[in-house]
Structure 1
Amino acid sequence: MKDLETLKELVASITDWKSLEKMSCKPFKPSILHLAISKDAPQLYREEELIQLKNFSNLLSSVESKPKTHNTGQMMTRKRQIEEMPKEERVTPAMIKKPRSIILVQNRPSPDLPAEFKNRVSELSGHDLKFLMHKRLFCSDVKPNSNRLSMPINEIKCEFLTEAEITKLDERDGPNGKGRLVGVEVTVLDPCLREFTLPLKKWSMQRTDTYNLVTNWNSIVSTNKFEEDQELQIWSFRVGNKLYLILNKL
């Protein structure tokens, strides 16, 4: 029990990537410590690392669920095999679950969107306007080497994707579904109504899957001078079948 409390205090003390790097081995290898940290601070990990940790957790669970044996040497060998397993063997789409449902956050009235955004939606002949979430930017959301905005699915207040888009978020571009995630192209309106085109991807994690705006996110951060703890409202709407997101700076 004391060891568990110590681990919780350690996880709580990690607030940025530099702190995590000091505790990590290079190259990255999944471990029990990384698994515990990723549950409370998934934003500290890259997409490939989160996938490795998810599969590491699945493999550990399968080991622990097997009948106990007195041959402890075999058990230790099995755990070492898991940690030393090549990345291409750890990452298999068949091992990644495909959650479709969104856990609705507190049932509160949606906030009002400022008039300039509503006017722009009307100019674009937009429809299906929805409030998705209130987002406070983490350090990892504004660090140049991260280049992504994370939106945990369990913090999103409503479903905003079509069935076709949900399916596409699980697709990969390599042979046999082993390449990089394809994602869905999204047009993002920043607080000054400038348009940016970014891919939206879904990363599978231990506690909750996360939608992420990637690739060109750094351009939005630098253009708007976003900083850690900046608060945003994120909305969605559609122009025809095309998905748009709105970033309303608070």
Structure 2
Amino acid sequence: MDFIKSVGGSEAEFVIEKRLTVSDVNPNQGRLLIPVLQLKNKKGFVTADEETMMGMKEDVSVWVFDPERRKSTLNLAKWKMSKECYVLKTKWNHVVKTNGFKEEMVIRVLSFRVDHQLCFLLDPVA
């Protein structure tokens, strides 16, 4: 939480604790799936406007801070697969490679806002 405050963040929400799957770290997939049914905060972390954008198949540009607190700009989408999922994509492979994320690692994902910008913080669980 200190980091979030240090970058001017507010509205911090715990999104998910996820064990990375082979598809989450596969460079051919290039995305992190966040199943809606596994969200810790059922009210969600996106605004009504962001939800509308994703409903119209538009991506939402988000900032992602990795465990070393490096910022990357990724896209957030919502896919209807067998289950509805939020998806962090575009540059996800860079985040995986830079941080050495591997299958079976557990990460905690938090969301927050800097002004109106949606941000995510990724932290490995020891």
Q: TM-score range by the shorter chain?
A: over 0.9
Is 2:124 aligned against 1:249? yes
Is 2:67 aligned against 1:195? no
Q: Pick from 115, 119, 135 the counterpart of residue 2 of structure 2.
A: 119
1:215 Cα offset (Å): 1.4
Q: Pick from 39, 46, 49 the counterpart of residue 161 of structure 1.
A: 46
Q: In the aligned structure 2, how far is the partner of 1:247 from the partner of 1:199?
A: 15
Is 2:55 aligned against 1:170? yes
Structure 1 partner of 2:91? 216
Q: In the aligned structure 2, how far is the partner of 1:140 from the partner of 1:229?
A: 11
Structure 2 partner of 1:7? none
Q: Secondary structure at the match of 1:169?
A: helix
Deviation string, structure 1 residues 178-198 (Cα, Å, up to 9, x no partner): xxx321111001011010100
Q: Pick from 135, 141, 155 the counterpart of residue 24 of structure 2.
A: 141
Amino acid at match of 1:196: S
Q: How is 1:1-150 mapped onto 2 (pairs within 5 angstroms)?
A: 118-150=1-33
Q: In the aligned structure 2, how far is the partner of 1:156 from the partner of 1:130?
A: 10
Q: In the aligned structure 2, how far is the partner of 1:197 from the partner of 1:154?
A: 25
1:144 Cα offset (Å): 0.7
Deviation string, structure 1 residues 184-235 (Cα, Å, up to 9, x no partner): 11100101101010000111123x2000111110000000011000100010
Q: Secondary structure at the match of 1:164?
A: helix
Amino acid at match of 2:101: F
Structure 2 length as normaliser, TM-score? Answer: 0.94
Runs of 5+ consecutive residues of structure 1 not aligned to the other structure? 1-117, 172-180
Give 1 or 2 for the bigger CA radius of gyration. 1
Q: In the aligned structure 2, how far is the partner of 1:147 from the partner of 1:127?
A: 28
CA RMSD of aligned residues (A): 0.9
Runs of 5+ consecutive residues of structure 2 not aligned to the other structure? none
User: Identity rate of aligned residues, in percent?
Assistant: 37
Structure 1 length as normaliser, TM-score? Answer: 0.48
4+ residue segments displaced more than 4 Å: none
Structure 2 partner of 1:233? 108
Amino acid at match of 1:195: K
1:122 Cα offset (Å): 1.4
Q: In the aligned structure 1, how far is the partner of 2:102 from the partner of 2:46?
A: 28
Structure 1 partner of 2:35? 152
1:119 Cα offset (Å): 2.4
**Relative contact order, higher structure (CA 8 A, sep 6+):** 2
Q: In the aligned structure 2, how far is the partner of 1:214 from the partner of 1:129?
A: 21
Amino acid at match of 1:242: Q
Structure 2 partner of 1:95? none
1:120 Cα offset (Å): 2.1
Q: In the aligned structure 2, how far is the partner of 1:162 from the partner of 1:194?
A: 24
Q: Flag the structure with higher strand content.
A: 2
